[in-house]
């Protein structure tokens, strides 16, 4: 991997195909076990997803995705979230803007309706 592109070898392709098949088998089990208890059917889907995750994690793209996810969580922790007061103030400004725009568009619509009525002679509506 000299350049930063993802190189997926044939072994990883086989593993990813197996992971996809495990998901399909898990979902298929949900429908195949239609007479079984719901917990068994849900366990079939979860088992397929867990097995696919384990197989996928054993690939290079899987490990890179895991590293990316960890970095994303670290970046999320760096975000400065707004305070409760800032949130309410921003929400209030947005709400006020929506009301002002609604009134503005209503006035434009009413004015255009009035002009069309005047031009067409439909004043009695």
Whole-number pLDDT of residue 2: 46
Give yes or no for a contact between 61 and 11, defined as CB atoms under 8 angstroms apart. no
Query: Where is pLDDT greater, at 81 or 7?
Result: 81
- Residue 47 phi, psi dihedral angles, 5° rounding: -60, -40
- Give the residue extent of every domain in the chain: 10-78, 82-125
Q: Look over the chain and give the mean of its residue pLDDT values, rounded to a whole number.
A: 90
- In eight-state DSSP terms, residue 81 is P
Window from 43-47, 58-62, 82-86 with minimum mean pLDDT = 58-62
pTM given for the model: 0.52
pLDDT digits (tens, 9 = 90+) for 65-87: 899 999 999 999 999 989 999 99
Structure tokens at 65: 């995705």
Give pLDDT tens digits for 27-39: 999 999 989 899 9
Give the separation between CA 73 and CA 51, rounded to whole angstroms: 24
């Amino acid at each position: 991997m000299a350049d930063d592109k993802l190189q997926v070898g044939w072994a990883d392709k086989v593993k990813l195909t197996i992971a996809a098949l495990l998901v399909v088998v898990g979902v298929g089990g949900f429908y195949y076990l239609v007479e079984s208890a719901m917990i068994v059917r849900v366990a079939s889907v979860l088992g397929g997803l867990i097995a696919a995750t384990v197989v996928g994690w054993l690939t290079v793209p899987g490990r890179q995705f895991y590293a990316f996810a960890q970095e994303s969580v670290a970046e999320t922790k760096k975000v400065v979230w707004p305070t409760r007061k800032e949130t309410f103030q921003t929400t209030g400004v947005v709400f006020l803007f929506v009301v002002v725009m609604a009134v503005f568009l209503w006035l434009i619509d009413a004015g255009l309706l009035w002009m069309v009525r005047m031009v067409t002679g439909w004043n009695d509506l």
